[in-house]
Amino acid sequence: MESLDQIVAQFFAPSDSNRHPLQGTITLGAVNKDNTFEYVKSFGGTSDEDNEKPSGDPIYGIASCTKLITTIAALQCVEKGLLALDGDISEVLHEWKNPKILVRFDESGEPILEESKGVISLRQLLTHSSGMAYGFENMHPDLARLQKLRNRKTREGGTIEESFEPVLIRYPGEQWEYSPSIDWAGKMVERVNGDMKLGEYMQRYIFDPLGINDMTFCISERQDMQCRLVQCWERSDTEGMKKTRYSMRPQHVEEHFGGGGLYASATDLLKVYRAILQKDGRILGEELVNLMFTPQLQHTVGLDNLTNSPPSYRNSILNSIPSTTPINFGLGGLVNLEPVVGRRGSHSLTWSGVANCYWWIDPQNSVAGVYLSQLLPPGEPEAVELLSKFEEAVYLSLAGK
C-alpha cells in the first residue's frame, strides 16, 4: 500500500482548493479474518510535542467507538443468561421504571411531562431506539434545559445516574435517536455482574482473551498509555487550527461511560474487530455475532432524514457510506444494506467517535478497518474523504491490485 502514503501526504499538505489540511497524528489500520493481512501505520504528528512522544502505538480517546465494545459486553451477558435482549431494562435499571416523556416547557418555565407507553428493552438501548436522547443544546434544547434545571452533572464530573436525566423525548421504539442509551447498557452490565466496574468486566472477558494491553477507561492510572496520548486539535472558522483539550478526557475517572469513555490503540481495536470476523467464541458466539450485522429497526425514521442535517452530524452518522445507500441499525453500529462499490460489502457494521475516529467491519469480505485521529469538530469532510481513500486502498490491496 505504498501509494497510500502519497495519498495521505496530500491531505496534510496545504492546498489551493477548499480542502483544509489535516493536523496532528492519524493512525490507519486494517486486518482480515484469516490473519494473512494486517496494516497499521501512523501519519502526521509533526509538532514538537508529538515528536517528543515515546515510541509505540499512539493512544487515542475513541469516544463513541467505545459503544461497540460495550455492546459486545452486553451481548455476552445475554449469552450468559444475565440479561434478555427484549426484557424490561427497569428490572435492572430501576431509574427507568415508568419513565416520563418530556413534551415541552410551559409559559412559566415548568416542564410538561407525560406517561410513556410500554417498556424499554436492551435491544432498544443498543439500537438507539429507546426514546432517550442526548441533552445537547444543539440537538435537544428542551432536554438540555431540563437537565440544567435538575442540576445534572457532566460526564467529567458525575456518574451515569447523575449525568443523564431519566426522561424520554418520545415513546420507546418510535424512532431512531442518538442517545446515551449505551451508557445505560454498560450500567446494566455492571449491575448484573455484582457491580463490577465496566472496565474490569471488559478486561476480564474481552481484553484478556484477545491479548489486549492498550485499552482502558482509566488513562490516569496507565502512565505507559498516557505518555503516548495523541494531541487533540480543533479547527474553527475564526481561529483556524489550534491545540485543544480532548473534551472527554478527564485526568481521573471513577465512572466508566460505556458510550464514550475508552482510550485505545488502533492495533488493539483491530484485535476486537478481527475476533468479531472470526466468530470463534473467544468473546462472543456465532449466533449473536450474526445478529450484530442484522438490521434491527422495523422502520428507519430518524436515520432517513440526514440529507438536511448539518454536514458534521451527517458525516458522523454515515461515516464514508454514500448518502444514497440504504441503511439500518444493527447491534453496535450502522448497517449499509447495499455494497459500497470498490469498498465495503453489504451488511457491514460501522460507527464513529467525536474526534474523527471511524471503524468498519465487513463480514462479507472478511475485512475490518479503523481510522483514528484527535481532530475536532466531528465529521470533518477531509477526514471522511481520507477514510474513503484508505478503505479503497485496503480492498485494492486485498484484491492484489
Catalytic residues: 64
C-alpha cell at 180: 446515551
Those residues with Cβ within 8 angstroms of residue 56's Cβ, 6 or more apart along the chain or in another chain: 228
Residues 126, 69: Cα–Cα separation, whole Å: 11
Residues 238, 89: Cα–Cα separation, whole Å: 45
Residue among 33, 134, 118, 127 nearest 74 (CA): 127
- Residues 144, 145, 146, 152: what is their CA dihedral angle, to the nearest 10 degrees? 60
C-alpha cell at 279: 466468530
Helices (H) and strands (E) in the chain, counts: 14, 16
Those residues with Cβ within 8 angstroms of residue 344's Cβ, 6 or more apart along the chain or in another chain: 336, 350, 360, 362, 364, 365, 391, 395
C-alpha cell at 348: 457491514
Q: Are strands 327-329 and 111-115 parallel, antiparallel or unpaired?
A: unpaired
Contact indicator for 158, 152 with CB cutoff of 8 Å: yes
Helix (H, G, I), strand (E, B) or coil at 390: helix
If you count them, how many residues does the chain have?
A: 401
Residues 104, 217: Cα–Cα separation, whole Å: 36
Radius of gyration of the CA atoms of the chain, in A = 20
Those residues with Cβ within 8 angstroms of residue 243's Cβ, 6 or more apart along the chain or in another chain: 231, 232, 233, 234
CA 73 vs CA 59, 185, 330, 376, 397: distances in Å? 22, 9, 15, 28, 33
Q: Which residues of 145-162 are buried (b: 16+ CB within 10 A; e: fewer)?
A: bbbeeeebeebeeeebee
- 102 forms beta bridges with 113
